[in-house]
Structure 1
Amino acid sequence: MATMTDTQCYFMCFLLLFLSTLLLKPLFKKPSKTLRLPPSPPALPVIGHLHLLGPSLFKSLHNLSTKYGPLLYLRLGASRCLVVSTASMAVEIYKTNDIAFANRPSFAFSDSLPYGNYGFITAPYGDYWRFIKKLSMTEFLSARQVEQSRAVRHEEIVSFLLEALESAKKQQAFDVGAELMKLANNSTCRLMMSIRCSEERDEAERIRKLVKESIEVSAKVMLGDVLGPLRILTFWLYGRKAIDLTLSYDEILERVLQQHEESPQKENEDLMDMLLKVYQDDKAEFKITRTHLKAFLLVSHIFT
């Protein structure tokens, strides 16, 4: 029968000591006397309230807020969060105390990814965040821009309905989920870059695959935020994949950016045209880099 070597024995002892420390530390941690926290459900050691969250996150949070109130404190592993479930509480946080809640913690290993925290959603509160917020409200999401996008959205919806009618006439199967994904992709790509993603089948499939894989990998990498000292494991497992996906997006974005820079000015500007104008403006309030520009486009595409 094989026996453990001294090295294996030392390693097992160290591992048991490390895990025991993680498990027992929350039990002996004294609560802060100055920090007044909102109501919170009973928590388990190490995992906190993770066991209370089911497959449907919004239903789980709704059930908890119904029982413990509109403002709820949760500990998700090593991460802490507030759950706000009423409009009045949201106003209190986002208007009355907006500066106090403006900053956001950095996601696990975001500094190791090609775009880092340059995306608007993940950017720390500061000059860049304020500049992009102002630009989004006055330009990207302005009433004029929304009105200009109406024609694009109308054309894509009409195209979707015509394809559905054509399939019905031919008594062919119509994959609603795939066609809605194509509708969303085409609308987003046209508003952002003035191209229809579905015109090139291989390119469209590549973009759809990148979006799906990016969402999945992002969720896995962000899981590291709840693992505390063990968060390095998530980057070992999924970090390379996250980097490769970002570089694949970068290749597509760089090619389209160069096409926009070489093409003459269009009557109706898309999002990329507006960002390039700011990028080339030496007198702008904040001088954005090409990385800022690509990160903003990447996040906009994934979350729209």
Structure 2
Amino acid sequence: MEILHIYVSLLLLVVSYLFTTHIHWKVSNLPPTIFPTLPIIGHLYLLKAPIYRTFARISAKHGPIILLRFGSRRVLLVSSPSIAEECFTKNDIVFANRPNLVFGKILGDNFTSLVWAPYGDHWRNLRRIASTEILSTQRLNEFQDIRADEGLLLIRKLLSNSSPVNMKSAFYELTLNIMMRMISGKRYFGGDIVEVEEEGRRFRKILDEAFSLAGASNLGDYLPILSWFGVNDWRRNYFY
């Protein structure tokens, strides 16, 4: 009998929570959401692989703008070009910051790099430096020969290869070669120097391990309580 009372009490607690959350959402002038929003996990129960198709199904069913909750974080799902334009023009400062994820803390030097720094004087200074030293017309023209050479090498490699080619890996290596030639003056992939190839494999392994920390794959970013138990990795196949 006591167990029955416990079950009834838990059921009433969950129902009360869902009802209160639903009413609060209605009176808070927030974008529409999906009912129910479950305690603790929010809308994480909706996610299925691959994630972009899940978002497409949600948008097709519930409309062009939906406010979801992934654990402790709110996620605004926008599928309308006009609404997206409004987000990045009239309300651009509101959406200027990135969330503080473990990826940005570790690889973004505690959120001080250009990609992860919060909107403000420091970020504007970094953007000015990047615009001048990396993205200016003069600098882009200086690196034009590198981009053209790497593109030509990739085409030759594809033409000489009679077996199927993983284009994702090929373009990834193309991007890395361009970046490393701009930074260090040498290419890591597709060359004939064994030492450089070995160094390139180690470099790519470092990058793969670094990107495995990406926020979308770290469940602890959405459910911080899990970090107390050492549970951080999310199944990456949700996002590919």
Alignment TM-score, normalising by the size of structure 2:
0.74
**Does residue 203 of the first structure (1) align with residue 199 of the second (2)?**
yes
When the two chains are superposed, the root-mean-square deviation of aligned CA atoms in Å is: 3.0
Structure 2 residue aligned with 1:191: 182
> Using a 3 Å threshold, how does the CA distance of structure 1 residues 136 and 35 change in structure 2: closer, same or farther?
farther
**Does residue 116 of the first structure (1) align with residue 110 of the second (2)?**
yes
Q: What does 1:64-83 align with in structure 2 at a 5 Å threshold?
A: 64-83=58-77
> Using a 3 Å threshold, how does the CA distance of structure 1 residues 34 and 105 change in structure 2: closer, same or farther?
farther
Structure 2 residue aligned with 1:45: 39
Structure 1 residue aligned with 2:140: 146
Deviation at 1:227, TM superposition (A): 0.8
Structure 1 residue aligned with 2:238: none
Indicate if the aligned counterparts of 2:108 and 2:115 stay in contact, CA closer than 8 A.
no
Out of 55, 65, 68, the position equivalent to 1:61 is 55
**Does residue 36 of the first structure (1) align with residue 29 of the second (2)?**
yes
Q: What does 1:263-278 align with in structure 2 at a 5 Å threshold?
A: none
Question: Partners of 2:84 and 2:19 in 1: how far apart?
Answer: 34
Indicate if the aligned counterparts of 2:87 and 2:95 stay in contact, CA closer than 8 A.
yes
Question: Partners of 2:159 and 2:106 in 1: how far apart?
Answer: 48
Indicate if the aligned counterparts of 1:61 and 1:83 stay in contact, CA closer than 8 A.
yes
Deviation at 1:78, TM superposition (A): 1.6
Out of 209, 229, 232, the position equivalent to 1:233 is 229
Matched positions, count? 212
Q: What does 1:81-92 align with in structure 2 at a 5 Å threshold?
A: 81-92=75-86
Indicate if the aligned counterparts of 1:26 and 1:46 stay in contact, CA closer than 8 A.
no
Indicate if the aligned counterparts of 1:164 and 1:174 stay in contact, CA closer than 8 A.
no
Task: Give 3-state SS (helix, strand or coil) of 2:68's partner.
Answer: strand
Deviation at 1:74, TM superposition (A): 0.4
After TM superposition, where is structure 1 displaced by more than 6 Å over at least 4 residues in a row? none
Deviation at 1:120, TM superposition (A): 1.9
Instruction: List alignment gaps of at least 5 residues for structure 2.
Output: 1-9, 234-240
Indicate if the aligned counterparts of 2:133 and 2:139 stay in contact, CA closer than 8 A.
yes
Indicate if the aligned counterparts of 1:65 and 1:72 stay in contact, CA closer than 8 A.
yes
**Does residue 133 of the first structure (1) align with residue 127 of the second (2)?**
yes
Deviation at 1:38, TM superposition (A): 0.7
Deviation at 1:156, TM superposition (A): 0.8
Structure 2 residue aligned with 1:218: 214
Structure 1 residue aligned with 2:100: 106
Question: Partners of 1:229 and 1:176 in 2: how far apart?
Answer: 39
Structure 1 residue aligned with 2:173: 182
Structure 2 residue aligned with 1:270: none
Which is helix-richer, 1 or 2?
Answer: 1
Whichever residue aligns with residue 199 of structure 2, its letter is: E
Indicate if the aligned counterparts of 1:72 and 1:82 stay in contact, CA closer than 8 A.
yes
> Using a 3 Å threshold, how does the CA distance of structure 1 residues 81 and 206 change in structure 2: closer, same or farther?
same
Task: Give 3-state SS (helix, strand or coil) of 2:74's partner.
Answer: strand
State the percentage of identical aligned residues: 32
Task: Give 3-state SS (helix, strand or coil) of 1:217's partner.
Answer: coil
Structure 2 residue aligned with 1:11: none
